[in-house]
Amino acid sequence: MKTTNRLTPILVGLLFASANSFADAPLASISSQDAFFNQIKSLCGKSFEGKVVVDNAPASDFSTEKLIMHVRKCTDSELQIPFHIGENASRTWIITKTGSGLSLKHDHRHNDGSSDISTMYGGHTLDKGWAQVQTFPADEYSKELFVKLAIPQSISNSWQMYIYPEKFTYRLTRPGREFRVDFDLTQPVQQPITPWGYHD
């Protein structure tokens, strides 16, 4: 019994050490997704103007306001990319390495910084994709949110991002719906304001 008591702190210590080593271990990765992530990361700190090239919905602010993407904050596992529509700084794309692929989330905020009811929707890669293209079909959280918001047609949403030396593309598709914005990477523009709910 005394031997067991002496061993208990040692065993606990070994368990903590093992847990910490797993926490510190690098995320599993796929070369095509790493290349895609790193190409965007290489733009960190820069902003680019875009234009709608496909939109089969009625005209909106996307077609009348200046569109700016800002690769604002980058770590080895996360990219934060605000997407400004004129003076509207409510949207931020968040690309995250998850260990099983890449996640894309849409963080929507009000101008007081609080979260919009429609926020953090997005998807997760299902295949390795390419260094230039990754696809994010809607995840379960997003599907449940879309049903709650009475927009069940969005359950079949799929988002794509393309990165080439001269162009970055954000694209949304579902049956009967396509939206695409191309950003010119050859001409960086002035950085926009801090997105709502974020801090420098």
Answer whether 184's CB lies under 8 Å from 43's CB: no
- State the average pLDDT for the chain: 89
pLDDT at 58: 76
Please write the tens of the pLDDT for every residue from 79-129.
999 999 999 999 999 999 999 999 999 999 999 999 999 999 999 999 999
pLDDT at 106: 98
Please write the tens of the pLDDT for every residue from 138-147.
999 999 999 9
Q: Are strands 133-137 and 47-55 parallel, antiparallel or unpaired?
A: unpaired
- The pTM for the full model equals 0.86
Bridge partner list, 189: 47
pLDDT at 2: 47
Q: Is residue 198 part of a domain?
A: no
pLDDT at 129: 97
Residue 177's CATH number:
2.40.128
Q: Is residue 81 part of a domain?
A: yes
Looking at the predicted structure, is the pLDDT value of residue 3 above 70? no
pLDDT at 24: 52
Q: Is residue 80 part of a domain?
A: yes
Q: Is residue 101 part of a domain?
A: yes
pLDDT at 23: 44
Q: Is residue 195 part of a domain?
A: no
Q: Is residue 19 part of a domain?
A: no
Cα 108–chain centre separation: 12
**Percent of the chain at pLDDT exceeding 90:** 80
Alpha-carbon gap, residue 174 to 160, rounded angstroms: 11
pLDDT classification of 16: cutoffs 50, 70, 90: very low
Q: Is residue 16 part of a domain?
A: no
Helix (H, G, I), strand (E, B) or coil at 53: strand
In total, how many domains does the chain have?
1
Task: Give the long-range contacts of residues 46-49, CB within 8 A, separation 24 or more.
Answer: 46/70, 46/71, 46/188, 47/71, 47/188, 47/189, 47/190, 47/191, 47/192, 48/168, 48/183, 48/184, 48/185, 48/187, 48/188, 48/189, 49/183, 49/184, 49/187, 49/189
Q: Is residue 136 part of a domain?
A: yes
- What domain range includes position 166? 28-189
